[in-house]
Amino acid sequence: MQEETTKGVVVPGLGDRFPDITVNTTHGKIHLPDDYNGKWFVLFSHPGDFTPVCTTEFIAFSKKAEKFKALNAELVGLSVDQVQSHLKWAEWINDNAGVKVPFPIIADELGILAKKLGMLHESKGTNTVRAVFIVDPKGLLRIMLYYPQEVGRNVDEVLRALYALQVSDKNKVAAPENFPNNEYLGKNMVIIPPAASEAQVEERKAAVAKGEYKMKDWWLCYREL
C-alpha cells in the first residue's frame, strides 16, 4: 500500500512494484527493477562514502555477496555520492580491507530514487538513511527496513529475512521469529496459516492426529520444513 509523505511524495509500500527507473552505477547504467527480472535483489542505501559505519557495512555485504547469489539474489548499493566517489571508496576498501566490492553502487546524485523510496529524511540533511529493500523476482517490494545513521545493519539478518521470504512463498507457510532457529517451536519449523473456519479447525486437528502437523493449539499449528 502506498503512503504519502509530508512533502507529498508517494512512497511505495509492501507489495507494491519497485519504481521503474534507470540509474548510473559503478557497473554502468541499470534499469530497475527490470534488469533483475526473475531474480531477487537487495537494494541498500548508505549515508555517504568514506564514512566509518558505512565502510564496515560494505565490507560485510561484500564478504557475503556469494551467499546472496546462492539465494538467487543480487546486491545493489546506493548513496547520493558521485560514481567517481563510489569507485574510489571501493578501491580503498579493496586496498585496505582486502575485500573487493562485487556489486554495483548507484550514484543517486539528485536523490531521485532516494525520494521515491523515502530514504531522505529532513533531519538528516541530504544524506540517505540506512535503508534495505528486498525485491522479489516480479519486481515487488517485499521488505523495507530503515535504520538511523548511527546504527549499522546486521547483514546476516538481511540474509535470514530473504531466506524466510523465499521459504514462505514456496511453501505457503509463515516463518516464526528468528527462523530457521526459533527457540519456542524448534529448528526449521514453519507455521501453518491459522484456521479461518470451523471446518479448517477440524482439518488442523485431524492433520495433527496423523502426525502431519504439530500443535500448540488449533490456531498455532506448525511443521518441520
Asked if 76 and 43 touch (Cβ cutoff 8 Å), the reply is: yes
Asked if 142 and 135 touch (Cβ cutoff 8 Å), the reply is: yes
| d(C-alpha 57, C-alpha 75), whole Å | 13
User: One-letter amino acid identity for 59?
Assistant: I
30, 54, 134, 161: which is the annotated catalytic residue?
A: 54
Q: Indicate the pairing of strand 130-135 with strand 40-45.
A: antiparallel
| d(C-alpha 181, C-alpha 187), whole Å | 5
Residue 54 annotated to the active site: yes
Buried b (16+ CB within 10 A) or exposed e, 141-173: bbbbeebebeebbebeebbbbbbbbbbbeeeeb
Query: Would you name the residues annotated as active-site residues?
Result: 54
